[in-house]
């Protein structure tokens, strides 16, 4: 088993506890919910939010704030699980993309922004 695969699997175990906390926390912000619903932001394979299209200063601030909070959680959890931050964030990205709802945006492995349909989203081949 490759080292990255071991880290991803270890990160997946610890990620379950926070998988619902981050989206729930962010969704309390009406600006986040509106930006997500309108397709202005989407989930990226690296575990962070991205801006789809034009970025207003308010949208940049919103995404940066959420990504800073995500990074803090990923950093703590990756240390607890003896994984790299990048491997842990990748696992989080895999799960976040898998949880997108039809109509929401996500970034495919080739870097293009996709709109989720009823079909499974395109995910990084390293996803568990």
Q: What is the pLDDT of residues 90-111, one digit of tens each?
A: 999 999 999 999 999 999 999 9
Q: Is residue 41 part of a domain?
A: yes
Whole-number pLDDT of residue 2: 58
128 within some domain: no
How many Å apart are CA 115 and CA 99, to the nearest integer? 13
Bridging pattern class, strands 41-43 and 105-107: parallel
pLDDT band at 28 (very low <50, low <70, confident <90, very high): confident
Strand 41-43: give its sheet, edge to edge. 49-51, 41-43, 105-107, 113-115
Structural domain that includes position 8: 3-115
41: left (phi over 0), alpha (psi -120 to 50) or beta: beta
- pTM for the full model? 0.80
Asked if residue 125 is part of any domain, the answer here is no
pLDDT in tens, 35-83: 999 999 999 999 999 999 999 999 999 999 999 999 999 999 999 999 9
């Amino acid at each position: 088993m490759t080292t990255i695969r071991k880290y991803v699997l270890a990160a997946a175990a610890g990620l379950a506890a926070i998988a619902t906390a981050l989206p729930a926390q962010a969704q309390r912000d009406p600006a986040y919910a509106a930006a997500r619903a309108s397709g202005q932001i989407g989930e990226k394979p690296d575990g962070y939010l991205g801006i789809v299209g034009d970025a207003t200063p308010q949208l940049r601030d919103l995404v940066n704030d959420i990504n800073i909070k995500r990074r803090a959680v990923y950093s703590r959890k990756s240390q607890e699980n003896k994984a790299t931050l990048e491997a842990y964030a990748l696992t989080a990205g895999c799960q976040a993309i898998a949880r997108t709802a039809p109509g929401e945006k996500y970034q495919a492995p080739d870097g293009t922004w996709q709109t989720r349909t009823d079909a499974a989203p395109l995910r990084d081949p390293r996803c568990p």
